[in-house]
Structure 1
C-alpha cells in the first residue's frame, strides 16, 4: 500500500477487506520480493506478516532509543 508504505501478501485479510469495500486499489503497488519492498522504504504488514512486522518494529524501537540516547 503506497499510502501507508507497507507491503504484505496478496491474500492478506486486511487488504482483501479493503479491496472488497472499494478502497485501496489506487494505492496498491507490487514488488518482486520483500527485500525490494524494504529497499523502497516499505514496512511489513502487521496482519499478514506478523513475525516480520515484530522484527521490523523492534529495529524501529532500537533506533529510536539510540537516537534519544545521543547527545
Structure 2
C-alpha cells in the first residue's frame, strides 16, 4: 500500500509515524475505537464532524492501552 508514512497513536497516546497504515480508527474526544469500515464511524465522517478528531491505531491492544474502548456496533475485539 502506498501513501505513507502514516500517523498512528501509540499505547502512550503519542503520535508516531509508521510505514504501514493503522488497522483501526478512533475518535479522540469520545475515546472509542473501531474497524475502519464501521457503519457508525462512516456516517459520522459523512456528516463532516468526525474527521478532525480521528486517530488511527495499529491494533486493538494499542488502542486499549491508550485508554480507548471498543465500539459496540462494529465490535473490533
1:8 and 2:23 equivalent? no
**Counting helix residues as a fraction of each chain, which structure ranks higher?**
1
1:46 and 2:72 equivalent? yes
Quote the RMSD (CA, aligned, Å).
Answer: 1.2
Q: How many residues align?
A: 51
1:21 and 2:47 equivalent? yes
TM-score (norm 1): 0.68
- Stretches of structure 1 that go unaligned for 5 or more consecutive residues are 53-71
Deviation of 1:22 (Å) = 1.0
- Stretches of structure 2 that go unaligned for 5 or more consecutive residues are 1-26
**How far apart in 2 are the matches of 1:35 and 1:14?**
21
**How far apart in 1 are the matches of 2:44 and 2:64?**
22
Q: Would you identify which runs of 4 or more consecutive aligned residues in structure 1 move more than 3 Å?
A: none
